[in-house]
Amino acid sequence: MLLNYLKIAWKVLLRHPFYTFITLFGITLTLTVLMVLTSFLDHLFGAHYPEGNRNRSLYITMMMQTDSARESVNTGPYSFQFLKRHAKTLKSAERVSIASMFGFSNSYVGGKRIKLNTKFTDADFWHVTNYKFLEGKPYNDQTIAQGERVVVITDDLKKQYFEESTESVIGKTIEIESITYKVMGVVRGGPPTRVYTYADVFFPYTAPKSNYQNAGMRGGYQAIVLAKTPGDRPEIQAEYDNAIRQIPLPAKENGFTFSVIVAKADTYFDGFLRTFLRSDNEPNRLAFYGIASLVLLMFMGLPAINLVNVNVSRMLERASEIGVRKAFGAPSQTLLGQFIIENIFITFIGGVFALGLSYLIIYYINSSGLIAYADLTINWVVFVTSLGVCLLFGLLSGVLPALKMSRLKIVDALKA
Amino acid sequence: MIRHLFKLIWNKKGAHSLLIIEIWASFMVLFGVLSLIIYNFTNYLQPIGFSYDRVWVVDLSNNQDTVGVAAKNQRIFDMISAYTEVESASRMSNNTPFSANQMNNNVTYNKISAVPDMYETDDNLYETLDLKLLAGRWYRKEDQVSKFRPVVLNKVLAEKFFQDENPLGKILSKEDKKPFKVVGIVDTFKAKGEFMSNAPAIFVQNESMSDWVQPILIRTRPGTDATFEARLVKDIAALAPGWGIEVSYMTESRQNRHKLTLIPVIIFLIISGFLLTNVALGLFGILNLNISRRRSEIGLRRAMGATGWNVTLQILGEMWTLSLFSILIGLLFAVQFPLLHVFDLAAGVYLWAMVAALLTIFVIVTLCAWYPGQQAARIHPATALHEE
Amino acid sequence: MIHLKNVEKVYRTSSIETLALSNINLHIQKKEFVSIMGPSGCGKSTLLNIMGLLDAPSQGTMELDGNPVNNFQDKALARLRNEKLGFIFQSFHLINDLSVLDNVEIPLLYRRSSARERRLLAQQALEKVGLSNRMSHFPRQLSGGQKQRVAIARAIVGRPEIILADEPTGNLDSAMGNEILSILQQLNSEGATIVMVTHDEAMAKRTHRLVRLFDGSQVL
């Protein structure tokens, strides 16, 4: 039965190469856009190198200070000392790492300028992230305590600074802003889209210019909290909230008196939304979701309507075939089933094309250097999502016309 | 004939509803993308108002060093000004051109209040950035003594405050601070790059530039390269050990700014381009099928004296009418944007976007209906009428 | 009025030639009511199509009002069809999405006339066939006889001199068929020239002249 359906489906597709082309084109295009998009979102929000632990991590990135009327607001990352006191001490966490937001600097070799992104970190940073050491090893608490002038660099920076050297560069020196550092380790770099871990050079936080000594609440540091299991995270969040509540208020910083502080340990995605919307109030978030889903609906709905439209027209053209089938006693469900299978069939062919096309596009994005260290992949999550969407489209564009068709009276179908 | 088409479409509105939705959605997508493009394009047409080639920005931070910051600042600046590679150097607040920083302040004149971008600068900025003065002059050292702080406005802000009056010498008030006196007018100043709108801007003289660590802008001589940059960084580091020093080229930060604007536009353009191709192909297919379903009607019209051109025109006219319906619905949505001031764009941008979207839809629809229309004209009435 | 001289019609496909009409000579006078009979596939419809300027003969000439129309361009033919000819078909060919009144107006759309004038003429035509109370109905709501009456109204709305009817009663029962024929006779008596293809001997007898076709040739 199924094979028979597929045979018919195949014949129908070949009978109208042009409409098959239109339908396939629409499906392929829509799915490709979707797959590249999901792949990109996965790149942004999924757990990937060097944040492979993202699923059991919390990010403490921003503090908001405001007066009780919420008229003046100061927002920004934390000071090292504040995080040391309130985040580092979280008992329910496995480990907590404090690192600065990435800064900018330049290094000069032989009349050439190398742009650098710098980051000051503690030793736990190398446990919380899963940076892979190609050479050497990370600095530890002892190195930090002794204030040694050491750095960990990325393979990319090694290539630029040491002129494609294939030998190990451990123990060699690198000069940044007139200060000489010894290279302690070389890691494989990560993409700049992972802002909490991205840098070209990593310094121990006791290195010059890190400003870890600053008192006060705000500064240039953020913390990544690693939980033992993803399920532990609510407990850690509660503990951190509690720690924040203990802070005496109102307080004063840089001449600004505030009576409310908002400081949260967020999952990556929540933190992203909080930074992106610059607000934690519910209506804003709802508005964001509203607009985002509207745009998505528009972009996904248009091809869907188009598909349904083409399908309806195609089915009307086949009305007489339907009449004959019904006249010979095919029940409505069988007819419905036939159309649905036919549509799923064509959708899956489109899916296969889309897979190939997305692979090409993703390959292009990865190799074009548009995003350094881009690691967009078609992983199984993306693939399964796309197949699911594939199916949904097949049903959406199949059921509506098919229902309309199978309700057609035999006489009408035969007459037309 | 038009009335006839309207009736034909109206009576078949049920069957056409999906098509109408499709064209409506296409119109909305086009309207959105075109608004974005037109907004950026009209901005791009306005001159940027300053010259950024060969200009470097030196960002400094004193970090833990709090001893004699003002003196060190002054010494660094004097040293930079003295290099032969430096044509001109100046200091300004950290909202330097193409940077992510922004500073807005409320300024009032005669009950007209504005919130321009405010740039606190020294007397050299005019030269370093090669600003274009329309009237008056840039502030000088002598201005410091008066009881007003001298300011230079850009043309948009001057027009907002003074309309036809001569702005020079006018006094502006800024809350409880020392009032401003206008000494000059520059043309445009689009600090965030060509794609920024020509927003009101005000330059305020800052007489104590050394008190805080401020960015230094340097216009270098042609041919200056990274070797000088390395020397510059080394010299500053020697003067102020422990300070953070970051040199960036304005040409590069401008590119980054442009990317921020252009990449979303390009992504939207590509996606909506594909969407519209999709829709166009779909329309074309549907129309073709419709023609084959309507052979007898077309045959009849031919028998009743319609020429081939009449038939083509009818197919085109039906699609135009249908598009008009859809676009009218779309316009109901689109006018909400300027009416409710969504996104704070000028109403003109939306208006042009509507017109452009409307024209695009009509072009697409005409292209899609042209071939089926021609096919329809070729239908032989004798055969079409006897098929049943 | 219509004059066919040595008309021949050959249909060619890539492999087969079919002779649909051969050596037809037919003269139809003004105000004549002529019926054409013959078995299926004898070329009646082809003949009617040629007279209706919907098809061109392969050989021979067709004259309308003494003018040969063989070499007329599409635009000129369309104009002649519009002004001189009215068509009635076996399967009515009404447009389902238009009301009765709008259907009747169609021929007037292809000439210069105002909306008011169109409306007036269409109403008069519908009155003539006795359907002025059905003007805003849609074809789906009408019986077969009513549909054919609408089609007749549409054929006469442009005041053509010639009405070509292709088995106008073929889809109707005899009572309705008689009614339709009476209307045609009435129109003929008011001055219209009518050519009607029919299967029905009784109908044919009520016309002035009968032309019989067999296998593409005129036998009577």
What pLDDT digit, counting tens, does each position of C38-71 carry? 888 888 888 999 999 998 899 999 999 888 988 8
Q: Give contacts of B289 with chain A, Cβ < 8 Å.
A: 19, 313-314, 316-317
User: What φ, ψ does residue B283 adopt, rounded to 5°?
Assistant: -55, -45
Same domain for B276 and B191, yes or no, is no
Q: Give contacts of C138 with chain B, Cβ < 8 Å.
A: 11
CA distance A194 to chain B (A): 18
For residue C11, pLDDT over 90 is answered with no
User: What are the structure tokens assigned to A2, written together?
Assistant: 């199924």
Cβ atoms of B350 and B35 within 8 Å: the answer is: yes
Cβ of B285 within 8 Å of Cβ of A113? The answer is no
Q: How far apart are CA B131 and CA B191, in angstroms?
A: 12
Same domain for B71 and B29, yes or no, is no
Q: Do chains B and A touch (3 or more CB pairs under 8 A)?
A: yes
pLDDT above 70 coverage of chain A, percent = 84
For residue B250, pLDDT over 90 is answered with yes
CA distance B250 to chain A (A): 14
Same domain for B228 and B125, yes or no, is yes
pLDDT above 90 coverage of chain B, percent = 54
For residue A413, pLDDT over 60 is answered with no
Q: Give contacts of C11 with chain B, Cβ < 8 Å.
A: none
Classify residue A216 by its DSSP letter: S
Quick one: pLDDT band at residue B4, thresholds 50, 70, 90?
A: confident
Any A CB within 8 A of B187 CB: no
For residue A409, pLDDT over 70 is answered with no
Q: How far apart are CA B36 and CA B31, in angstroms?
A: 9
For residue B352, pLDDT over 90 is answered with yes
**pLDDT tens, residue by residue, A319-346:** 666 666 666 776 666 667 776 777 777 8
Same domain for B125 and B236, yes or no, is yes
Please spell the DSSP secondary structure of A284-318, one letter per residue. HHHHHHHHHHHHHHHHHHHHHHHHHHHHHHHHHHT
Indicate whether B251 belongs to any domain: no
Same domain for B284 and B140, yes or no, is no
User: What are the structure tokens assigned to B320, written together?
Assistant: 């135009």
Q: What is the mean pLDDT of residues B161-177?
A: 85
CA distance B375 to chain C (A): 15
Query: Shortest CB distance from A303 goes to which of B278, B290, B292?
Result: B278
Cβ of A108 within 8 Å of Cβ of B246? The answer is no
pLDDT above 90 coverage of chain A, percent = 35
Give the residue from chain B lying closest to A207, CA to CA: B242
pLDDT at B63: 84
**Domain boundaries defined on chain C:** 2-218
Give the residue from chain B lying closest to C155, CA to CA: B304
For residue A416, pLDDT over 50 is answered with no
Quick one: pLDDT band at residue C4, thresholds 50, 70, 90?
A: very high
**Nearest one of A207, A209, A109, A67 to A151, comparing CA atoms:** A207
CA distance C55 to chain B (A): 6
**pLDDT tens, residue by residue, A30-83:** 778 878 887 888 888 889 999 999 999 999 998 888 887 776 778 889 999 999
Q: What is the mean pLDDT of residues C160-176?
A: 91
Same domain for B28 and B129, yes or no, is no
Q: How far apart are CA B361 and CA B374, in angstroms?
A: 20
Domain boundary among B211, B242, B273: B242
pLDDT at A375: 81
All partners of chain B with 3 or more CB pairs under 8 angstroms: A, C
Q: Report the Cα B280 to chain-centroid distance in Å.
A: 29
pLDDT at B13: 78
Cβ of B305 within 8 Å of Cβ of C97? The answer is no
Q: CA–CA distance from B85 to each of A273, B20, B276 (Å)? A: 46, 65, 54
How many interchain CB pairs under 8 A, A with B?
111
Query: Shortest CB distance from A177 goes to which of B26, B233, B278?
Result: B233
* Overall number of domains in chain B: 2
pLDDT above 70 coverage of chain C, percent = 100
Classify residue C106 by its DSSP letter: H
Quick one: pLDDT band at residue C165, thresholds 50, 70, 90?
A: very high
Cβ of B388 within 8 Å of Cβ of C91? The answer is yes
Same domain for B17 and B98, yes or no, is no
What is the average pLDDT value for chain C, to the nearest integer?
A: 91
pLDDT at A391: 72
Q: How far apart are CA B341 and CA B334, in angstroms?
A: 11
Same domain for B31 and B102, yes or no, is no
Same domain for B149 and B230, yes or no, is yes
Any A CB within 8 A of B22 CB: yes
Q: How far apart are CA A384 and CA B45, in angstroms?
A: 46
Residues paired with A117 in a beta bridge:
A104
For residue A276, pLDDT over 90 is answered with no
* Cis, bond preceding A331 (omega within 30 deg of 0): no
Q: How far apart are CA C157 and CA C168, in angstroms?
A: 17
Q: How far apart are CA B183 and CA B202, in angstroms?
A: 11
**pLDDT tens, residue by residue, B367-386:** 999 999 999 999 988 888 87
pLDDT at A379: 65
Least confident of A25-39, B183-197, C175-189: A25-39
Residue A256, classed as helix, strand or coil, is strand
**pLDDT tens, residue by residue, A351-371:** 888 889 988 998 998 888 777
Q: CA–CA distance from A280 to each of A272, A327, A343 (Å)? A: 11, 63, 44
Q: Give contacts of B288 with chain A, Cβ < 8 Å.
A: 18
Q: Residue with structure tokens 């003065």?
A: B133
Q: Determine the Cα angle at A249 with ends A247 and A253, to 5°.
A: 95
CA distance B39 to chain C (A): 44
Same domain for B98 and B33, yes or no, is no
Q: Determine the Cα angle at B14 with ends B11 and B19, to 5°.
A: 110
Any C CB within 8 A of B42 CB: no
Q: What is the mean pLDDT of residues B350-357?
A: 95
All partners of chain C with 3 or more CB pairs under 8 angstroms: B
What number of CA atoms fall less than 13 Å from residue B165's CA on the CB side?
Answer: 13
Q: How far apart are CA B17 and CA A411, in angstroms?
A: 25
Alpha helices in A112-252 (DSSP H): 125-128, 141-145, 155-161, 233-245
Residue A19 burial by CB count (10 A; 0-12/13-18/19+): exposed, middle or buried? buried
Cβ of B306 within 8 Å of Cβ of C49? The answer is no
Q: What is the mean pLDDT of residues A394-407?
A: 67
Report the amino acid identity of residue A21.
F
Indicate whether B122 belongs to any domain: yes
Indicate whether B209 belongs to any domain: yes
What is the average pLDDT value for chain A, to the nearest integer?
A: 83
Any C CB within 8 A of B111 CB: no
**pLDDT tens, residue by residue, C12-24:** 877 888 888 888 9
Q: What is the mean pLDDT of residues B205-219?
A: 88
Same domain for B265 and B318, yes or no, is yes
Q: Which residues lie closer than 8 Å to B185 by C-beta, 6 or more apart?
A: B133, B134, B135, B136, B152, B153, B154, B155, B158, B167, B168
Cβ of A309 within 8 Å of Cβ of B22? The answer is yes
**pLDDT tens, residue by residue, B287-311:** 988 888 888 899 999 999 999 999 9
CB atoms within 10 A of CB B211: 12
Please spell the DSSP secondary structure of B143-201, one letter per residue. GGGSSSEEEEEEHHHHHHHHTTS--TT-EEB-TTSPPEEEEEEES---TT-TTS----E
Global pTM?
0.81
CATH ID of C2-218, from 3.40.50.720, 3.40.605.10, 3.40.50.300, 3.20.20.100: 3.40.50.300
Cβ of B381 within 8 Å of Cβ of C54? The answer is yes
For residue A11, pLDDT over 60 is answered with yes
Mutating which of B293, B302, B307 best tests the C interface, going by the most C Cβ atoms within 10 A?
A: B307
Q: How far apart are CA B87 and CA B90, in angstroms?
A: 10
Give the residue from chain B lying closest to C85, CA to CA: B304
**pLDDT tens, residue by residue, A174-186:** 998 888 999 999 9
Q: How far apart are CA A102 and CA A198, in angstroms?
A: 7
Q: What is the mean pLDDT of residues A1-17?
A: 76
Cβ of B12 within 8 Å of Cβ of C97? The answer is yes
Quick one: pLDDT band at residue A229, thresholds 50, 70, 90?
A: very high
Range of the domain at B284: 2-46+256-385
For residue B97, pLDDT over 90 is answered with yes
Q: Determine the Cα angle at B303 with ends B300 and B305, to 5°.
A: 115
